[in-house]
Structure 1
Amino acid sequence: MADQNDMKQQFANLASAAQSGKLLIEDDTAERCAKRCNAYIQELQTQMTTATDLIHQNSFGDLGSAGKYARKIHDLGSGDSPGSYVGAVKQHIAVLQQMADMFKKAGQAFKNSDSETQARIRQTMQSLNGK
């Protein structure tokens, strides 16, 4: 959990740096990264919805112990606690939302920069990509 909070804070710090013009990501790259984050969020939300429908308590039998076991399995899968699958997915979604926000702000900072700065960034990116 602390690692998730640290990652969210790091992306919030990067978004702040982007908003102040200290972090620039070429606008096309930033837009593609933000879109991928949002697409992944959608995938995780679908998985989270599916997970809540996987466990049916009556499929474990009629005994009291079977009901307790079914509830435990249900809670591990679709419970809202940090140790459950759904809880973990929610934490991942929160980090992805921070990432998407940072990419959007960094892309906007690139758009707001002067043409000379944009040209230097593009040139550097091309040299890194071997073009």
Structure 2
Amino acid sequence: MIVVMNVVVSVAVIIVLQLLGMLIFSWMTPFNDLEELKKGNLAVGLALGGKFMGTAIILGVAAYTNHSIWFMMLWFAVGYVCLIVTYWIFELATPGLKLSEHLKNGNVAVGVLLCFVFIGMSFAISSLII
């Protein structure tokens, strides 16, 4: 019974952290992510999917490598901050390319690029958690 309760609590915490992570990422964009998805903006969908997958990878590794929910949350927070910093560094490293503007305009190439930046960096960041 205790094992089942631990799993239920862990899954609930993971869901809350994933949703919180996505909410914070949505605050970083100057447009409404959900409205853009409703319009069928594939570029935003790709970038948002990459953010979701990236946070899920970090969260999964944090959950796998920690036996305490508190340590899992701590390492997720550290990894998540690294992922946010990565986004801002990437934004600064591409001065002629306003990422959020291109996403809002539906530039699929930028959406694909950001998707893989988030997924790739989440794998690299996750290796630090282990």
TM over 0.5: no
TM-score, normalisation: structure 2? 0.31
Q: TM-score, normalised by structure 1?
A: 0.31
Higher-Rg structure is 1
